[in-house]
């Protein structure tokens, strides 16, 4: 504590002026009741992967920015949902239900505006910047709120008499490039609500999974096998839609007390048909039956994938 720095600050501690990168001694002085928690990076990475698996239920175009933040392009999505706001609501609900996590979301038609929007309605809300209202929003946006504008750049803008988006948009392209180099072109574009950067996934998908959380905990072996069958059928549909098969099937079980276990089984050949997948799934669940406490969540996933192609999915309307 005496020689460390704050890696992340809770919203409660921020009210006292505590923030990331602050020396621990300073943080403790600002907030006398502050509790320091050692980081658990293995757990963070595990939960981060679980978060991304929820994202992948809606789109494969997921660009992680950190363990707990990512861009998602849901223009073509897998849930037959035409409104991005509804997708954000569903993802946030699943994160709360499955992982007991709150999340904020920014929704718009490009990366710049979505990132800006994500800073509103925190820590457990979402904010939409509609294309029709984007310029009006940008006009009122303080210059230091623009993505890519740090303290030094903001100070330079202020010296130029530029305090908000409206004033930035009045700048000539040549003047911005002269003052800021290549970044000047970026500032010129975002002042007009333009950002052509695409959402680019950083890695190939390593698994495909689906899961269900139940309103009433499952106890009966019969109802547990029934749910495993339904989840297996859904996983099979997703595999067939994406023309994917794999060699390892994993069962995920979360009990009523939130204790979680997994069981896996691999084959030499691919798990590529209904009979094989469901047989393996039922064999895995049978290993843990009977249960002494209820099951609140069941999931099945395929890994060691052989990916042939992906589907386009359903395209959004412009109503967001």
Q: Give, in order, the Cα–Cα distances in Å from 230 to each of 38, 61, 224, 238, 277.
A: 40, 27, 10, 13, 12
Question: Parallel, antiparallel, or unpaired for β 126-128 and 105-107?
Answer: parallel
Please state, in angstroms and rounded to a whole number, the distance separating the CA atoms of residues 228 and 222: 10
Which string of b and e fits 86-98 if b means at least 16 CB within 10 Å?
ebbeebbebbeeb
- What residue has token string 């921020």? 14
Please state, in angstroms and rounded to a whole number, the distance separating the CA atoms of residues 267 and 277: 11
How crowded is residue 291: how many other Cβ atoms within 10 Å of its Cβ?
17
- Six-digit token string for 190: 């975002």
Catalytic option among 63, 69, 81, 89: 69
Q: Give, in order, the Cα–Cα distances in Å from 73 to each of 58, 152, 201, 316.
A: 9, 31, 10, 10
Judged on CB neighbours under 10 Å (0-12, 13-18, 19+), 153 is middle
Please state, in angstroms and rounded to a whole number, the distance separating the CA atoms of residues 150 and 156: 10
CB of 198 within 8 A of CB of 209?
no
Largest CA distance in the chain: 73
Q: What are phi and psi of 214, to 5 degrees?
A: -100, 145
Contacts of 247 by beta carbon, 8 Å cutoff, 6+ apart:
266, 267, 268, 269, 270, 271, 303, 304, 306
Q: Catalytic residue at 69?
A: yes
Decide: helix, strand or coil at residue 302: strand
- Active site members: 69
């Amino acid at each position: 504590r005496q020689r460390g720095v704050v890696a992340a600050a809770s919203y409660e501690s921020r009210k006292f002026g505590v923030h990331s990168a602050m020396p621990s001694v300073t943080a403790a002085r600002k907030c006398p009741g502050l509790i320091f928690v050692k980081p658990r990076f293995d757990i963070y990475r595990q939960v981060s992967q679980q978060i991304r698996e929820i994202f992948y239920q809606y789109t494969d175009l997921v660009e992680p920015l950190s363990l707990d933040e990512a861009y998602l392009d849901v223009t073509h999505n897998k849930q037959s949902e035409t409104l991005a706001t509804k997708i954000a609501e569903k993802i946030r609900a699943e994160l709360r239900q499955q992982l007991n996590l709150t999340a904020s979301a920014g929704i718009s038609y490009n990366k710049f505006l979505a990132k800006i929007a994500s800073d509103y309605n925190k820590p457990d809300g979402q904010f939409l910047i509609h294309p029709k209202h984007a310029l009006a929003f940008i006009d009122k946006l303080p210059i230091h709120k623009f993505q890519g504008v740090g303290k030094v750049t903001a100070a330079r803008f202020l010296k130029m008499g530029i305090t908000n988006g409206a004033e930035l948009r009045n700048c000539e392209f040549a003047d911005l490039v002269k003052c800021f180099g290549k970044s000047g072109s970026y500032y010129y574009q975002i002042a007009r609500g333009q950002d052509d950067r695409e959402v680019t996934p950083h890695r190939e998908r390593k698994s495909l999974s689906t899961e269900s959380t139940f309103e009433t905990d499952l106890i009966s072996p019969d109802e547990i096998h029934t749910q495993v069958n339904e989840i297996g059928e859904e996983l099979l549909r997703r595999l067939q839609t994406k023309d994917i098969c794999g060699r390892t099937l994993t069962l995920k079980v979360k009990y009523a007390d939130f204790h979680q276990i997994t069981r896996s089984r691999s084959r030499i050949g691919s798990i590529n048909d209904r009979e094989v997948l469901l047989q393996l799934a039922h064999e895995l669940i049978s290993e843990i039956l009977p249960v002494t406490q209820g099951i609140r969540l069941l999931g099945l996933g395929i890994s060691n994938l052989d990916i042939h192609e992906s589907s386009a999915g359903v395209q959004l309307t412009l109503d967001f």
